[in-house]
Amino acid sequence: MIRLVFIGIFICFSSIIAQTHNFDVHKISAEITPNLENESVSGELSFSFNTSQDTDSIFLDAKNMAAQIMGSDIKVSLNISEDKLWFVGDFEVDETYNINFSYQAQPKQTLYFVGFEDDAKTNDQVFTQGQGKYTSHWLPSIDDMNDKIEFDLSIIVPKFYGALANGKLIEQWKENDSLSRWTYDMKKPMSSYLVAISVGDYKREIQQSNSGVDLHQYLLKKDSLYLEPTYRHTKQIFDYLENKIGVDYPWQNYKQVPVRDFLYAGMENTSLTIFSDAFVVDSIGYFDRNYVNVNAHELAHQWFGNLITETESKHHWLHEGFATYYALLAERQIFGDNYFYHKLYQYAESLKSASDNGKGEKLLKPNASSLTYYQKGAWALFMLNQIVGEDVFDRAVQIFLNKYAFQNVTTDDFMNEVKALTNVDLSDFEQQWFKQSAFQAEQALEALETSLFIPEYFELIAKRPLDISKKIGAIETAFDFPINIYIAQEAVSQLASEPANDEVIQLYQSAFNTGNLWVRQAISESLTEIPLALKSAYETLLQDQSYQTRENAFLHLWMNFPKDRKRYLNQMQNQDGFRDKNLKQLWLTLNLATPDFQADKTTQTYQELAQYTSPKYRFQIREHAFGYLYQIDAFSDQVLINLLDGCFHHTWRFRDFCRQLLKTLLKNPTYQSQINNLKPKLNDKALTYLNKIQ
C-alpha cells in the first residue's frame, strides 16, 4: 500500500449529490479578507449565472454565513438558510444575470489558520482544503462538482504576508499602509472543491517546463534552505507527465506550497497544489521522506480530476487511479524499473490481503476505500495497458481528455475511447477489474513476472521458511554487486530470525559492507538484538545519511549496550534529524532514561522534551513528544493541558491520537486525579470533553 507512514493517506472523497439544480453558475469573482485575529473571513462576491427554465430562486452553497446584497441587474432579495444563500427574483430562461453581495463567516472547517500560537509572524499560515471539506464553508460557491465555474479571487492580507490562489497573479496592490491585495485570474472553469488560497511569508522560485509553463515552488522564507531537496525532480516530473499524457497542461501556471498541519499528504487544487510540510526536507531527509510521489500524484490530477471530473463518486477512480498510476510512471523515470514493479507488487499484496479477508471492493463502488480507488484503480490501468498495448492506451487517454476537457465524465466515457481504437474484446477486463470485488491476484502476479527482477525476487521470498543452511548461497548472492535493494532487503529480513552463529555473522558483515543505505537501513530495522561481533559495524549506522537509520541504530545500541550509553548520547547530541525532530527527541528521552548521565540537568532536559507537546509546534513534533513521555511515564500538568488541547486539533489523525492517549491515562488512578485537579485551568471545550469521557 502507498501508505505514508508518518502521514496517512491521500485524501479520500466523500459522497456527492448529483446535480439537480436548474441554473448554471459561470463565473465567481470574489475579494476575500481572512481575519487572522479571530480566524474568520469576510468578502465581496459577484457571480453570473443563467437558468434552464423560468424560476423565482437560485442559490449558492454557503455554510453558516451572513450576507448582504450590494447590487444586481435585476431586483433580487436574499434568504439565508444554514447551508445556502437563496437569491429570490424573477429569473427568465436563457438570460444571464449578475449579482453582487458581501458576506462574513467563521468557518468551522476547510479554512485553517496555523502558526499563530507563537510571536513569530514568519511561521504563520492560512490555507484551505476543499475536497471532502467543502469550499462553501469559506466561499459561497456550488458544492456539486458537476457545475464548473471560473473563479477569479483577490485576497487582502497584512502587508507582511504573500497570498496565493488559483490561476495567475495579475495584480499585487498596496491597499493601504498595512494591507495588500493579491489578485488572481483564471481562464477556465473548475469544480468548487478545487478552489484554494494560502497565505504566508513565502519565498518563491520559478522554473519553466519544456513547454513554457511557469512552475512556482513556494516555501516559507525561514525554510529557504530546504527548497532544492524538497522540490527535487519537479521539472522532470512535469515534463515527463505532460509529454506522456499528450495533452498540454491545461492551466496558466503550476504552483506548489507546503503548509504546516495539513490534513492529508497533498491536495491538487487547480494550479495550486497544497501539501504537507512533512515533505519539506534537507538532503538527508530526502532519502526517507521525499515529496516525489506526492508531487507527481497531485500534478497528474491537474488533468485527471481537474480538467476532466467525475460525475459522481463511483467514478472516483478516474481521479485517484489515474493519479496513482501516472505518479508511478513518473517515478519509474526517476527511480527505475525495479522501483516501479516493486511498488506494483506492494499494491497487489495489499489488495490481495484485503480481498482474501473479504474486504475486496468493486472499483466502481460509490464511496469505496482509498485502497480501491487508488491502488486497485492503478492496477486496472496497468492491466489495461498490458492488454491493449501502450500505443492504444496512450492515444485513448489523449482523445478522452481532449474530448471531455472542462467537463464531467464517467468510466464508460473513458472505455468507449479505448474500445474505438482496438479490436480486443474488453468485456472480460471490465467484468474482472471494474465489477468484481475480489482482486485478480493471479493475473496481477503473472503480469508482474514480465519484469526481469520480480521472478528472482519471488524466488528468494519462497525461501523464507527454509533453514539457513539451504539458502546461504542465495542470501550471499543478494549482497553481491550490483545490489538490487529489494532482493537485498528481503535477504536481510530473512537473517533476522536466525541465531547469530558464525555463518550468520558473516552474512551480516557482507550486508554492512555493501555500503548501500537501503540495505543498511534494513539491518537497523530488523537486527534489534545486536551480537557483540557486529557491535562496531552496527555503530557505523549512526553516521549513515539517513535520519531513520540513525534513529533505529541509536535506540538499539542504547538498549543493547548499557555501558556505552553515555558514549552514544555524546555522539548523538545536537542532531535534530527530520523536521519532526526524531533524533533530538529520542536523544532527550534516552537522556532522561539514563539517570547517571547529566543528572544535574534532568529537569532542563525534561522541560525541553515536554515543551514539544505545546500547540506552538507542528503536530508531528507534538505526537512524537507525547509518545516518548508516555514511554517514560512522565506527564507534567502542562503536558496534560497540551494533550487536552490536541484533542481538538483539526488534523483528525493527531486528534484521535491525543484522545486515545488521554483515555489510556485516565485508566491510571494517579493520572486520573492529576487530570481532574487541572479542571480549574481548562477552557470550556476541554472541560466539557473531559467530563463527557469519564
If the CB atoms of residues 13 and 101 are measured against Zn ion, the closer one turns out to be 13
What's the CA gap between 298 and 268, in Å, rounded? Answer: 5
Residues pairing with 419 in the sheet: none
Rounded to 5 degrees, φ, ψ at 386 are -65, -40
If the CB atoms of residues 3 and 463 are measured against Zn ion, the closer one turns out to be: 3
What is the rounded (10 degree) CA torsion for 275, 278, 280, 282? -160
Instruction: State in angstroms the smallest separation of the CB of 403 from Zn ion.
Output: 23
Query: 208 has which bridge partners?
Result: 214
Cβ closer to Zn ion: 323 or 541?
323
Query: Which DSSP helix (H) or strand (E) runs through 156?
Result: strand 150-158
Kind and range of the H or E run holding 125: strand 125-128
CA distance 140 to 101: 10
The least CB distance from residue 219 to Zn ion, in Å, is 22
Q: From the CB of 323, what's the least distance to Zn ion, in Å?
A: 4
Specify the residue, 295 or 548, whose C-beta has the smaller distance to Zn ion: 295
Is 378 or 488 the residue whose CB approaches Zn ion more closely?
A: 378
Separation between Cα atoms, residue 669 and residue 638, nearest integer Å: 18
Decide: helix, strand or coil at residue 166: coil
Nearer to Zn ion, 256 or 489 (CB): 256
Burial 527-559 (b: 16+ CB within 10 A, else e): beebbeebeebbbebbebebbbbbbbbbbbbbe
**Can you tell me the distance from the alpha carbon of 634 to that of 592, in angstroms, rounded to the nearest whole number?**
10
Residues that bind Zn ion (CB under 5 A): 10, 320, 323
Q: Helix 684-693 vs helix 652-666: angle between axes, to the nearest 10 degrees?
A: 60
DSSP state string for 230-276: HHTTHHHHHHHHHHHH-S---SSEEEEEEETT-SSSEE--TTEEEEE
Q: Minimum distance between the CB of residue 400 and Zn ion, rounded to whole angstroms?
A: 18
Q: State the nearest-atom distance from the C-beta of 6 to Zn ion, in Å.
A: 18
Name the β-bridge partners of 34: 41
Q: Which residues are CB-contacts of 118 (< 8 A; sequence separation ≥ 6)?
A: 616
Closest approach, Cβ 161 to Zn ion, in A, equals 28
Bridging pattern class, strands 23-35 and 40-51? antiparallel
Nearer to Zn ion by Cβ, of 144 and 320: the residue is: 320
- Closer by beta carbon to Zn ion, 10 or else 275: 10
3 state DSSP class of 676: helix
Question: How near is the Cβ of 613 to Zn ion at its closest, in Å?
Answer: 32
Please spell the DSSP secondary structure of 8-53, one letter per residue: B-S-----------SEEEEEEEEEEEEETTTTEEEEEEEEEEEESS
Which residue, 107 or 266, is less far from Zn ion as judged by CB? 266
Q: Cell 542465495 identifies what position?
A: 474
Give 376: exposed, middle or buried? Use CB within 10 Å, 0-12, 13-18, 19+.
buried
Shortest approach of Zn ion to residue 434 CB, angstroms? 19
Give CA–CA dist 474/496, Å, rounded.
15
155 or 308, CB closer to Zn ion?
308
Q: Are 55 and 43 in contact (CB under 8 A)?
A: no
Tell the smallest beta-carbon distance from residue 373 to Zn ion (Å). 9
Specify the amino acid at residue 519: V
CA torsion, ordered 578, 255, 40, 689, to nearest 10 deg: -40
Q: Which is nearer to Zn ion, 323 or 640 (CB)?
A: 323
Could you tell me the smallest distance in angstroms from the CB atom of residue 274 to Zn ion? 13
Q: In the complex with Zn ion, which residue's Cβ is closer, 131 or 440?
A: 131
Q: In angstroms, rounded to a whole number, what is the distance separating the alpha carbons of residues 415 and 425?
A: 12
What is the nearest approach in angstroms of Zn ion to the Cβ of residue 301? 6
Tell me the closest approach of the beta carbon of residue 181 to Zn ion, in angstroms. 32
Q: How many CB atoms lie within 10 A of CB 156?
A: 19
Minimum distance, C-beta of residue 232 to Zn ion, in the bound complex (Å):
21
Cβ 402 to Zn ion, closest distance in Å?
Answer: 22
For the bound state, the minimum distance from the C-beta of residue 347 to Zn ion, rounded and expressed in Å, comes to 15
For Zn ion, the closer of residues 98 and 350 by Cβ is 350
364 or 542: whose CB is closer to Zn ion?
364
Alpha-carbon torsion 55, 60, 65, 69, what sign? Answer: negative
Q: How many CB atoms lie within 10 A of CB 367?
A: 15
Percent helix, strand, coil in the chain, to 5, is: 45, 20, 35
Q: How many residues does the chain have?
A: 694
Q: Which grid coordinates belong to 647? A: 484533542
Cβ closer to Zn ion: 231 or 325?
Answer: 325
Q: Which is nearer to Zn ion, 296 or 662 (CB)?
A: 296
CB of 10 to Zn ion, least distance (A): 5
| Cβ pair 251, 270 in contact under 8 A | yes
DSSP letter assigned to residue 479: T
CB of 132 to Zn ion, least distance (A): 11
Q: Least distance to Zn ion from the beta carbon of 554, Å?
A: 35
- Look at strands 214-220 and 253-259 and give their pairing: parallel
Contact (Cβ atoms closer than 8 angstroms) between residue 42 and residue 102: yes
Nearer to Zn ion, 320 or 544 (CB): 320
Instruction: Give whichever of 230 and 293 is closer to Zn ion, judged by the CB atom.
Output: 293
